[in-house]
Amino acid sequence: MSGRTVNSAMLLLVIGNAMALISDVFIKLLSGETGVFQFVFVRSLLTLLLLAPFLGFVNRRRLFEGLRIHALRAHIHMAGIAFMVVALGAMPLATANAIFYAAPLLIVVLSVTFMGERLSWQSALAVASGFIGILVILRPTEIGWVSLTALATALALAINAVLVRKLPRNQSMVHKLVLTYLLSLPAAALLMWLEAAPWQPGMLVNAFGSTVFILGYNVTVLLAYHQVDANQVTSAEYTGLIWAVLIGWWWFKEVPDVYFVAGSLLIVVPLLLVGLRHWLRRRPHTLKEPA
C-alpha cells in the first residue's frame, strides 16, 4: 500500500469529519420550537429522496433479507438521531461531540460482551481511560438528562456499529442505508404525530443541510476504508473533535474549559495508541505489498 494512497484516505476522512460537524451545526441551529421527531421524520424522508437516484445498487430480489436486524438498527438509529438533536441543542458543540466519541469505547465493550471478542490490555486501558474522560468532561455534579442524551447517542451509534456485522455481507451500502431510513419512517411519523409540535417551515433548510452533509460523510468514509485497512487511517476520524472545537469557538463563541481538554485527551489518546499499535503490527506486511 503506497503512502500516497494512505494520505489520500486520511484526507478523505478529515474532509468527511468536517462534513459531519457541519451536519451537527445544522442541527444545533434548529429553532427551539422545532419538534424533535418532526426533524427526525423530515430528515429520514429527505435522505430517502436523495438516495433515490442510486436505487440501482439495491438488490430488489432480496430487498428485505436480514429484516430483523435491519428493523432493529433502523429504530435504534432513529432514537440516536432524536437524542443527538436534544444533546446538540442544549450542550456546547465540542462537548457533545467529545461524548459522542464514547461510541468506539462502547463498541469494544459490546463486542466483548455480546460477540465473544477478546479484549487486549491496551483496549481495556483505552476503555477505562475513555470513561474517566467522559466523567471529567461532564463532572458528576453536573450530569443531568441532557448529558445522558449525549451518552445515549453514543450508545445508539455503538450498537448499530456492532449490529452491522449481523447484516448480509452481499448488501451494498446504499441497500443498507435505504432500509435503515425506510423502516424507521413509520415509527418516526407516529412519534411526530404524538409529539404534535407546530410545523416549522424553516426546519426544512436545517434538515436538508444536515442530510446532505451526513451523506457526504458516509461517502467519504466508504471511499477511504475501501482504499486502505481501517487501522491505518482511523486516527483521522478524531479530527472531528478538532473541527468541533474550531466551529464551536468561531460560530457559537464556545470556549472549551480545562475539563474538556483533559477529558478529551483521556478519550482520544488511548484509542489513537491502540490504532497505532495495530498499524505497527501490520506495517512489515504492508511494506512488502506492491504500491
Q: Is the dihedral of CA 131, 132, 138, 141 positive or negative?
A: positive
Helix (H) or strand (E) segment spanning residue 211: helix 203-227
Number of domains in the chain: 1
Per the structure, the complete domain to which residue 93 belongs is given by 3-287
Give the position of cell 445498487: 57
Task: For Cα atoms 29, 250, 102, give the angle at the middle one, nearest 5 degrees.
Answer: 70
What average pLDDT does the chain have? 82
Q: Which of 15, 32, 13 is nearest to 206 (CA)?
A: 32
pLDDT of residue 122: 72
pLDDT in tens, 13-33: 788 888 989 999 999 999 888
Note the Cα 26 to chain centre separation in Å. 15
Host H or E run for residue 235: none
Q: Which amino acid is at 231?
A: N
Q: Rank 38-42, 63-67, 112-116, 159-163 by mean pLDDT and report only the highest.
A: 38-42
Q: For 171-183, write each residue's pLDDT tens digit.
A: 888 999 999 999 9
Which residue bears the cell 483521522?
A: 236
